[in-house]
Amino acid sequence: MSLTLLRTLVAVADRGSFAAAADQVCVSHAAVGQQMRKLEELVQTELFDRSERSPRLNAVGLALVPRARAVLQDYDQMLDDLIGEARLYGELSLGVVQSTMRELVPRVLKQLVATYPQLHVRIVPGLSEELIEQVERRGLDAAILAIPGSPDPGFDWRPFAVEPLVLIVAPGAGETDVDTLLKTRPFIRHSRRATVGQLADRWLSKAGYTVEATMELDSLESVASMVAHDLGVSVVPDICVPDTAFSQLQRIPLNSFGLERQLGILTRADCAKTRLVEGLLAAVTRVVSETRDGGEFTPAQPS
């Protein structure tokens, strides 16, 4: 039984369909189906319920998945122990929150790929909660995200920046008094499903403000764009590595009441790609430090 078949089986379990698994293991949809038929022949039993349009793992298939994970983990760890640095020349599946996509992540990947030119990186944008779940079930090797509080046991959390809350206002708006702006300008809300939106709501509550949001958006970039066009104001983290558009906004410091966004890299404690994650963290730290030298962010304290 080949490791390739086991990796595809785990990908199907993690991603939920043959089509999504095909993207993860970099083969065609048809090839995933062929591989799973081959695996069923080898174990001499059906692993999927094919009564519906999209095949689903049956009870036997679901029981096989954790055993396949264990075999793959042992194999990956064995290679990591034996060849060390060479493991960096593989694949990294990396989840990222949207606010890091325009500037931080591209700059980090530029450094990482320059150092390890054979590295293949798969980027998966999403909300922090979604990315945490994917790291937990091994759909992702690591994720750049924000975690409120401490991570659960079984995770390895490596913070690299703390972003205080600020009130963002259109360039050249003139007014800088927080109380006046929140009471007279429309408020643009970030989605409450996201860590950023939850932090803003908590800050407004602690500061004693009741606002009527004129719009609610799913990404920090969209919120910043609306503010830039003077459609309102918003409470957001002061992005540690901002893009040009965010940098041009007026960012008015707030009494944060201890509320801030801590960004870090999350992996499973038993991640087999430890050296690669360390290379990623080193690249992130360099990029954030370059920005810090310009006085634009607050570094995270070591955990």
Residues 252 and 176: beta-carbon distance below 8 Å: yes
Sorted by where each begins, the domain ranges of the chain are 1-87, 162-260
**Rounded CA separation 43/70 (Å):** 17
C-alpha 264: how far from chain center: 9
Asked if 145 and 131 touch (Cβ cutoff 8 Å), the reply is: yes
- pLDDT by residue (tens digit) across 276-302? 888 899 999 999 998 876 544 444 444
Q: pLDDT tens digits for 200-256?
A: 999 999 999 999 889 999 889 999 999 999 999 999 999 999 999 999 999 999 998
Q: Cα(first)–Cα(last) distance of the chain, in Å? A: 42
Residues of the chain with pLDDT under 70: 1, 76-90, 293-303
CATH of domain 1-87: 1.10.10.10
Residue 79: its pLDDT value, please?
Answer: 61
Q: What is the pLDDT of residue 52?
A: 84
Contacts (Cβ under 8 Å, ≥6 apart) of 101: 125, 221
The CATH number of domain 162-260, selected from 3.40.190.290, 3.40.190.10, 3.40.50.1370, 3.90.110.10: 3.40.190.290
pTM above threshold 0.75 = no
